């Protein structure tokens, strides 16, 4: 799936850099009842900020909520910067705030120093970036290589080069899907035995929503049920211009009864809105912008179908979230999507607008197909649990544990 992460750009702060705030008393890391010493694991949590919600942040929150118990064998120590804010569910975890206005200095100087001071045994980054000089083994995460294939040529080259450098330093690399694992070996030369598969989890809030709660949420957005829905950013691989073209060619009665609702924000939205207007679809295609996470389940549940025509995904978590809420899913037969959705979605050629149009028309007109997809979806989504994701991450961290640190 392509999640947005930290871009490495400097930040401006109003407090003096270099001042660390700690809540470390709960991270003593004493022996467990069985005699094994928990693994002191540093984790970069800068994705958790009060005014921004990202895919990486949502997955990170699910993982951290499962850590800290003796059964995981992990003692987490969280590292953030001056913008980091932990949600209430994570307040019990120790956070060390490293106040540093320059991201590169935070990554390569302040963080390694803190890892040494805190006697961290393994460090895990939810990004591709890791400290290049670290006092302990480091594990990075590469969700996909989409930035190497889409966007400006210079950005593609720099992303690929940075991924190679950081992956070479990492003791292990986590990735979301078999598709991404193949890409990492083929395109970056990462040995297969260094790559650990960690399929993402569907959060527990994604489940069918009763009509009363569904109505309360939809009314806030002036929506009636049975719209077509996509939850997206506006990057090129999301294939949204073809989606507009495909929607325009739906029969008029289908368009009239099923407006297209686009949830998401970011660079590229204005261009797509102009394309919508040029196609004469202003009355039928609505852009809601970014919405609170707590409203997503009701929006998924109220859709006649969820459409996700990506040209490539490293995983494709929104498709599973929609399934968990009971929405039929039409998605691109590309990237990791076929392995993630299995037979619980209708797959279409994402490069062919006519194929997307045909898939949407089938789901909207064929009640038997729609009912079958609604039945299979929640079962498929239920396979991707927080417990399984947590177990895979913990196993990878334990595998790179330094010898003698048990």
Query: One digit per residue, pLDDT tens: the chain, 406 residues?
Result: 443 343 333 322 223 233 233 433 334 344 444 446 889 999 999 999 887 777 888 889 999 998 866 578 899 999 999 999 998 889 889 999 998 889 999 999 999 999 999 999 999 999 999 999 999 999 999 999 999 999 889 999 999 999 999 999 999 999 999 999 999 999 999 999 999 999 999 999 999 999 999 999 999 999 999 999 999 999 999 999 999 999 999 999 999 999 999 999 889 999 999 999 999 999 999 999 999 989 999 999 999 999 999 999 999 999 999 999 999 999 999 999 999 999 999 999 999 999 999 999 999 999 999 999 999 999 999 999 999 999 999 999 999 998 765 5
CA 99 to chain centre: 26
CATH number, domain at 303? 3.40.50.2000
Domain range for 329 is 211-381
pLDDT of residue 9: 34
Same domain, 254 and 274: yes
User: Are the C-beta atoms of 361 and 251 separated by less than 8 Å?
Assistant: yes
What's the token pair of residue 120? 């961290």
The answer on 393 and 342 residing in a single domain is no
Residue 406 lies in a domain: no
Residue 50: predicted pLDDT: 80
Could you tell me the CA-to-CA distances from 2 to 119, 143, 295 in Å, in that order?
33, 7, 22
Query: Do 322 and 356 share a domain, yes or no?
Result: yes
Same domain, 344 and 261: yes
Q: What is the pLDDT of residue 404?
A: 64
Task: Report yes or no on 375 lying in a domain.
Answer: yes
Q: Looking at the structure, do residues 262 and 314 belong to the same domain, yes or no?
A: yes
pLDDT for 36 equals 63
251 and 187 co-located in one domain: no
Is 336 inside any structural domain? yes
- Looking at the fold, whether 215 and 180 belong to one and the same domain comes out as no
| Residue matched to tokens 């569910």 | 89
Same domain, 63 and 121: yes
Name the residue with tokens 């989504």: 381
CB 314 within 8 A of CB 336: yes
Q: Is residue 55 part of a domain?
A: yes
> Which residues, at least 6 apart from 398, have a Cβ–Cβ distance to it below 8 Å?
39, 73
- Rounded CA separation 274/270 (Å): 6
Rounded Cα distance between 105 and 124, Å, is 18
Count CB-CB contacts under 10 A for residue 372: 15
Assess if residue 234 is contained within a domain.
yes
d(CA 162, CA 140): 12
Provide the Cα torsion 385, 390, 396, 399; round to 10°: -120
Q: Are residues 393 and 370 in the same domain?
A: no
Which residue, chain included where needed, has tokens 């609505």?
Answer: 286
- Residue 4 resides in a domain: no
Residues 121 and 219 in one domain: no
Same domain, 322 and 222: yes
- For residue 339, what pLDDT is reported? 97
SS3 per residue for the chain: CCCCCCCCCCCCCCCCCCCEEECCCCCCCCCCCCCCCCEEEEEECCCCECCECCHHHHHHHHHHHHCCCHHHCEEEEEEECCCECCCHHHCCCCEEEECCCCHHHHHHHHHHHHHHHCCCCEEECCCCCCCCCCCCCEEEECCCCHHHCCCCHHHHHHHHHHHHHHHHHCCEEEECCHHHHHHHHHHHCCCHHHEEECCCCCCCCCCCCCHHHHHHHHHHCCCCCCEEEEECCCCHHHCHHHHHHHHHCCCHHHHHHCCEEEECCCCCHHHHHHHHHHCCCCCCEEEEECCCHHHHHHHHHCEEEEEECCCCCCCCHHHHHHHHCCCCEEEECCCCHHHHHCCCCEEECCCCHHHHHHHHHHHHHCHHHHHHHHHHHHHHHCCCCHHHHHHHHHHHHHHCCCCCCC
Q: Is residue 304 part of a domain?
A: yes
pLDDT digits (tens, 9 = 90+) for 260-273: 999 998 899 999 99
pLDDT value, residue 54: 79
Closest by alpha carbon to 252, among 286, 284, 287?
A: 284
Number of domains in the chain: 2
Domain assignment of residue 146, yes or no: yes
Query: What pLDDT digit, counting tens, does each position of 313-346 carry?
Result: 999 999 999 999 999 999 999 999 999 999 999 9
pLDDT of residue 250: 96
State residue 69's pLDDT score: 61
Tell me the C-alpha distance between 357 and 354, whole Å.
5
Same domain, 192 and 254: no
Separation of alpha carbons 400 and 406, rounded Å: 12
């Amino acid at each position: 799936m392509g999640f947005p992460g930290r871009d490495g750009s400097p930040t401006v702060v109003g407090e003096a850099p270099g001042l660390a705030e700690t809540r470390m008393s709960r991270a003593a890391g004493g022996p467990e009842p069985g005699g094994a010493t928990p693994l002191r694991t540093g984790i970069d949590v800068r994705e958790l900020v009060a005014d921004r919600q990202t895919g990486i942040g949502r997955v990170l929150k699910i993982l951290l909520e499962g850590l800290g118990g003796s059964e995981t064998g992990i003692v987490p120590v969280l590292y953030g910067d001056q913008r980091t804010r932990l949600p209430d569910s994570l307040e019990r975890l120790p956070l060390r705030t490293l106040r540093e206005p320059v991201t590169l200095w935070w990554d390569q100087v302040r963080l390694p120093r803190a890892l040494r001071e805190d006697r961290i045994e393994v460090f895990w980054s939810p990004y591709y970036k890791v400290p290049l000089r670290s006092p302990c083994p480091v594990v990075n995460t590469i969700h996909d290589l989409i930035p190497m294939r889409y966007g400006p040529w210079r950005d593609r080259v720099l992303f690929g080069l940075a991924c190679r450098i950081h992956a070479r330093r990492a003791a292990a690399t986590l990735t979301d899907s078999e598709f991404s694992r193949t890409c990492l070996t083929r395109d970056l030369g990462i040995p297969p035995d260094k790559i650990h598969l960690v399929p993402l989890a569907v959060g527990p809030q994604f489940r069918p929503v009763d009509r009363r709660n569904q109505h309360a949420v939809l009314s806030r957005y002036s929506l009636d049920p049975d719209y077509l829905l996509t939850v997206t950013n506006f990057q090129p691989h999301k294939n949204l211009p073809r989606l507009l073209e495909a929607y325009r060619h739906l029969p008029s009665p289908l368009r009239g009864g099923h407006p297209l609702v686009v949830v998401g924000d970011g660079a590229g939205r204005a261009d797509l809105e102009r394309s919508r207007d040029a196609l004469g679809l202003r009355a039928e295609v609505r852009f809601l912008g970014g919405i609170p996470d707590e409203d997503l389940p009701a929006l998924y549940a109220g859709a006649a179908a969820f459409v996700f025509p990506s040209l490539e995904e490293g995983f494709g978590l929104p498709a599973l979230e929609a399934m968990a809420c009971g929405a039929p899913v039409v998605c691109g037969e590309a990237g990791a999507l076929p392995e993630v959705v299995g037979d619980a979605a209708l797959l279409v050629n994402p490069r062919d607008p006519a194929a997307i149009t045909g898939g949407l028309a089938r789901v909207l007109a064929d009640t038997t197909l729609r009912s079958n997809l609604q039945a299979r979806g929640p079962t498929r989504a239920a396979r991707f649990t927080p417990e399984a994701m947590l177990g895979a991450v913990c196993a990878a961290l334990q595998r790179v544990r330094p010898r003698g640190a048990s």
